[in-house]
Amino acid sequence: MSSESTVDNDHVMNDKSSEVCVIIGHSIEAITSAVVLASLDHQVHIYADLDLLAQQVEHYGFERHLQALWQLYGQQQQIVQCALPASADKLIQSYEGKVGQSLDEQKATPLSVSCYWLFLESIKSVWTDDNWVIAFNHSQQQTTPIIMSGIEKLGHITKLADSLQRAWVYYVPFVFLQDGEAYSSMLKPSLWLLGEKTPESSHQLTVLQPLLQYARAYHHADIATIEFARSSIMAMLATRVSFMNELSRLADSQQVDIGQVSRIMGLDARVGSSYLQAGWGFGGHTLPTELDKLQQSSQDNSVNMPLLQSVLHINDDQKELIFRKFWQHYDGFIDNKTVMIWGGSYKSGSGRTTGSAIHPLLALLWSYNIKTLVYSDKAKSSLAKDYGQQPLLQLLDSPYEQLAYAQAIFIISLSPQHQLDIAQLNQFAMPIFDAQNALSRPQINALVGAYAGIGRAK
């Protein structure tokens, strides 16, 4: 973990740069932004609940590139961690000096802020919207840009921007961020969207200019439009996933491999190939939060959104579909068995299990007194933290360890690099319930035991 300090004048005086980017928040988006700005040679002060920040950094241990840079910039004091003060006034004063200070005293403060970047979800529990908006409106530096990021109900960020007096207010949605590749996906964003309070003012945001140039696609518009676009992109991705999952149920009864269908669909340029994989659905933080906020917006505005409802319903139900296949295989007589589960994170490559199908699966299996052997290289610590006390859970270090004791295998999120040892599997010939559709067709064909995927079977 990098060194921690609060901003004090000594530190400030010794610093080579005279401009600082102030980041407020402890989310992965805030941490990534700090590292990216540091790598673009900016001095960064990141304000957060330091315990939460440390937890978050630890939680994202699987982001190896990001971790290494975070440590480096911390040691070099290019990223300085500061405790988030209870009120926004205090934070602003530490850069602008206190009201009533003499002009000389104010001049003694050599640091000027190039931008304030607020990660709204992180600061919610410490500052109320009113508190920080009023504080920034009292600030003497009304030309310093403010950037906001986060997923809120439609229109909320626009409202915040309007209540700020200054003209240079922006919204950056993290639509580009990829789990496991946080740093590079932000440095060279696939899609950079910028919401502006003041039209055609993006040039005021000099610190972010390089990202804009690296971006594969870029668009700026008013904040309300960017908010709506962000939400629509996410909802579309979720809809594609649920639609494929719905089709997979029909494929089950048609002796068709939905995986092959997905690949064929991807060949049609009108459809494209992303987010067409049938499986146990989507999890994580971003997509579910996004859909939840969208649903709230639809309720607040009394707009009925049956498609969105279905997307959510299918996704919830999909998470236990693999359990039902297991149940049907044994005609419901599943009590007291032992099963192996491979993977646990919400998607392969991530170490997080938020919204992963492993949670409902484990709860159901345990309710039938089924012993669960779980191998998940990336999510092991997360699972140990959630379920360390559960006597029916055993976390393993190797996928084939204790395989002899298991009567069935579930696959939730195997990393693509993982080479399955079909010969070993065939020794035991146990049924495989593949919620990720991780096995290739040749692998499935080579299996001795039964196989049930999502929309594909042996």
The binding site for other proteins (CB under 8 A) comprises 320, 323-328, 331-333, 364, 367-368
Contact 61, 96 (CB under 8 A): no
Query: Looking at beta carbons only, is 328 or 427 nearer to other proteins?
Result: 328
Decide whether 102 or 253 has the Cβ nearer to other proteins: 253
Q: Measured from the CB of residue 155, what is the shortest distance to other proteins in angstroms?
A: 24
Smallest distance, other proteins to C-beta of residue 340, A: 19
State how far the Cα of 196 lies from the Cα of 179, in Å rounded to an integer. 27
Judged by beta carbon, residue 129 or residue 246, the one nearer other proteins is 246
Least distance in Å: CB of 331 to other proteins? 5
Shorter beta-carbon distance to other proteins: residue 232 or 328? 328
CA gap 243, 235 in Å, rounded: 12
Sheet with 19-24, side-by-side order of all strands: 79-83, 43-48, 19-24, 112-119, 146-149, 169-171, 192-196, 218-222
CB 10 within 8 A of CB 43: no
- Please, which residue, 408 or 420, has the CB nearer to other proteins? 408
CB of 304 to other proteins, least distance (A): 20
We find the least distance from the C-beta atom of residue 302 to other proteins, in angstroms, to be 15
Q: Which two tokens stand for residue 12?
A: 């400030």
- Taking the complex as a whole, how short is the minimal distance between the CB of residue 337 and other proteins, in angstroms? 14
**Cβ-count burial of 166 within 10 angstroms (0-12 exposed, 13-18 middle, 19+ buried)?**
middle
Indicate the residue among 142 and 367 with the shorter CB distance to other proteins. Answer: 367
Nearer to other proteins, 268 or 331 (CB): 331
At its nearest, how many Å lie between other proteins and the CB of residue 125? 29
Surface-to-core class of residue 328, CB atoms within 10 Å of its CB (0-12 exposed, 13-18 middle, 19+ buried):
exposed
- Which residue's CB is nearer to other proteins, number 104 or number 331? 331
| Min dist. Cβ of residue 393 to other proteins (A) | 17
Q: How far is the CB of 333 from other proteins (least distance, A)?
A: 7
Residue number, 128 or 369, with CB nearest to other proteins = 369
Cβ closer to other proteins: 333 or 416? 333
332/388 with CB nearer other proteins: 332
Give the nearest distance from C-beta 366 to other proteins in angstroms.
Answer: 9
**CA 194 to CA 270: how far, in whole Å?**
26
Q: Between 183 and 323, whose beta carbon lies closer to other proteins?
A: 323
Residue 335 beta carbon to other proteins: minimum distance, rounded to whole angstroms: 10
CB of 307 to other proteins, least distance (A): 21
Q: Are the CB atoms for 218 and 192 separated by under 8 Å? A: yes
Q: Which two tokens stand for residue 381?
A: 């610590």
